[in-house]
Amino acid sequence: MRALAAVFLFVLALVAFEGGCPVVPAYAAAPVTDTTPADEPTASRPGAPKLTVADYPTYRGLNSRLTVWVAAQLHLFFAAFVLGVPIFVLVIEFIGWRNGDSRYDRMAHEFIKISMGAFSLTATSGGILVFALVVLYPGLFAYLTRVFGPIMMLYALLFLAETACLYAYYYGWDSMQGRRKPGHMLIGLALNVVGTVLMGLANSWATFMMAPSGVDAQGAFAGDVWAAVAGPLWTPLNLHRFLANIAYGGAIVGAYAAYKFIAAGTPEEKVHYDWMGHTANGIAIVALLPLPFAGYWMTKEIYAYSQQMGITLMGGVFAWLFIIQAVLIGTIFLAANFYLWCGMTRFDGANRTAHLVKYIAGVLVICFLVWFTPHTLVMTARELAAIGGAYHPVLGPLGVMSAKNTAVNIMILATFLTYQLFRRAMIRSVEPWMARATRFQVAVYVAAVANIVWLGIYGYYVPANVRIGLSVPQVMTTLIAIVVCVAIDEVIAARSERIGTVHWGRMPVRAQYALFTLAVAFTWLMGLMGYIRSSIRQHWHVYTVMRDASADAFTPTIGQAAAVVSACTLLFFALILFVFWLSGFGRDRGARTALAGAGATP
Amino acid sequence: MTGLFRVGSYSVGLIGLFTAFSYYGIPQLVPEPPPTEERMTDAMTTGEFVAAGARLYARACVLCHSGVGDRAPRLDAIATVWRERIGDARYRGSAKNLEEYLRESMLEPSAYVVQGFGKPGTGDGESPMPAATTGALALNPGEIDAVIAHLQSAAGAEVTVAPRAGLAAGAGRPQTEAFAGEKAPDAVAALQKFQCSACHLLPGLAVEEGAQLPGPDLREIWKTAANRVAGVNARDFLAESILFPNKVVAKDFEPGLMPEDYGDRMLVAELQMIVDYLTQER
Q: Where are the domains of chain B?
A: 46-154, 187-279
User: Domain B187-279: what homologous superfamily?
Assistant: Cytochrome c-like domain (1.10.760.10)
pLDDT of residue B261: 75
| CB-based contact, A540 to chain B, within 8 Å | yes
pLDDT of residue A4: 41
| CB-based contact, A544 to chain B, within 8 Å | yes
Mean pLDDT of A417-433: 81
* Tens-digit pLDDT profile for residues A257-286: 999 999 888 888 899 999 999 999 999 988
* Tens-digit pLDDT profile for residues A524-565: 999 999 999 999 998 899 998 999 999 888 888 888 999 999
Report the predicted TM-score, pTM, of the whole model to 2 decimal places.
Answer: 0.75
B11: nearest CB among A380, A516, A556: A516
ipTM of the complex: 0.82
Number of cross-chain residue pairs from A and B with Cβ atoms under 8 Å apart: 163
Give the sign of the dihedral formed by CA B89, CA B94, CA B95, CA B101. negative
pLDDT of residue A34: 41
Q: Do residue B26 and residue A559 have CB atoms under 8 angstroms apart?
A: yes
Ranking A72-76, B114-118, B262-266 by mean pLDDT, the lowest is B262-266
- Pick the residue from chain B with its C-alpha nearest to A524: B15
pLDDT at residue B177 tops 60? no
- Pick the residue from chain A with its C-alpha nearest to B250: A381
Q: Do residue A328 and residue B7 have CB atoms under 8 angstroms apart?
A: no
pLDDT of residue B256: 80
Same CATH fold assignment for domains B46-154 and B187-279: yes
Q: How confident is the model at residue A84 (pLDDT cuts 50, 70, 90)?
A: very high
A381: nearest CB among B15, B120, B249: B249
- Pick the residue from chain A with its C-alpha nearest to B135: A544
- Fold that domain B46-154 belongs to in CATH: Cytochrome Bc1 Complex; Chain D, domain 2 (1.10.760)
- Show Cβ contacts of residue B233 under 8 Å, excluding neighbours closer than 6 positions: B226
Q: Do residue A549 and residue B174 have CB atoms under 8 angstroms apart?
A: yes
Q: Do residue B26 and residue A320 have CB atoms under 8 angstroms apart?
A: yes
* Tens-digit pLDDT profile for residues A132-183: 999 999 999 999 999 999 999 999 999 999 999 999 999 999 998 888 999 9
Given a contact cutoff of 8 angstroms between Cβ atoms, the answer to whether A524 and A67 are in contact is no
| CB-based contact, A510 to chain B, within 8 Å | no
| One-character DSSP codes across A364-433 | HHHHHHHHH---S----HHHHHHHTSSS-TTTGGGGSHHHHHHHHHHHHHHHHHHHHHHHHTTEE--SHH
pLDDT at residue A359 tops 50? yes
- Show Cβ contacts of residue B199 under 8 Å, excluding neighbours closer than 6 positions: B213, B214, B215, B257, B258
Chain B closest-CA separation from residue A310 CA (Å):
10
CA–CA distance, A416 with A333 (Å, rounded to integer) = 11
* Tens-digit pLDDT profile for residues A390-409: 556 666 677 777 888 899 89
- Show Cβ contacts of residue A571 under 8 Å, excluding neighbours closer than 6 positions: A70, A74
Cα–Cα nearest to A303, from A468, A463, A456:
A468
**Chain A partners within 8 Å of B174 (Cβ):** 549
Whole-angstrom CA distances from A511 to A321, A347, A360 are 29, 15, 18
pLDDT at residue B210 tops 90? no
Locate all alpha helices (DSSP H) within A459-535, ordered by sequence. 464-469, 471-495, 509-535
Which residue of B5, B9, B15, B117 to mutate against A (max A Cβ within 10 Å)? B15
**Chain B partners within 8 Å of A308 (Cβ):** 63-64, 130, 135-137
Mean pLDDT of B1-10: 85
Whole-angstrom CA distances from A272 to A246, A516, A591, A595, A602 are 22, 17, 8, 6, 10
pLDDT of residue A28: 37
| CB-based contact, A317 to chain B, within 8 Å | yes
Q: Do residue A465 and residue B31 have CB atoms under 8 angstroms apart?
A: no
**Chain A partners within 8 Å of B33 (Cβ):** 554
Q: How confident is the model at residue A326 (pLDDT cuts 50, 70, 90)?
A: confident
| CB-based contact, B173 to chain A, within 8 Å | yes
Whole-angstrom CA distances from B183 to A26, A63, A178, B192 are 57, 38, 88, 12
Q: Enumerate residues 258 to 277 of chain B having a beta carbon within 8 A of any beta carbon in chain A.
A: none
pLDDT at residue A12 tops 60? no
- Show Cβ contacts of residue A235 under 8 Å, excluding neighbours closer than 6 positions: none
pLDDT of residue A389: 55
Locate all alpha helices (DSSP H) within A230-353, ordered by sequence. 234-263, 267-288, 291-305, 307-315, 321-343
Chain A closest-CA separation from residue B216 CA (Å):
14
Neighbours of A303 (CB within 10 A): 19
Share of chain A above pLDDT 90, in %: 50
Q: Enumerate residues 74 to 103 of chain B having a beta carbon within 8 A of any beta carbon in chain A.
A: none
Half-sphere exposure of residue A583: CA atoms within 13 angstroms, side-chain side: 23
Domain boundaries, chain A: 2-16+51-588
| CB-based contact, A468 to chain B, within 8 Å | yes
Q: Do residue A315 and residue B12 have CB atoms under 8 angstroms apart?
A: no
pLDDT of residue A37: 45
| CB-based contact, A323 to chain B, within 8 Å | yes
* Tens-digit pLDDT profile for residues A443-487: 999 999 999 999 999 888 876 667 777 888 898 999 999 999 999
Q: Do residue A516 and residue B27 have CB atoms under 8 angstroms apart?
A: no
Q: Do residue B15 and residue A317 have CB atoms under 8 angstroms apart?
A: no
Whole-angstrom CA distances from A45 to A28, A141, B172 are 9, 17, 18
**Chain B partners within 8 Å of A539 (Cβ):** 34-35
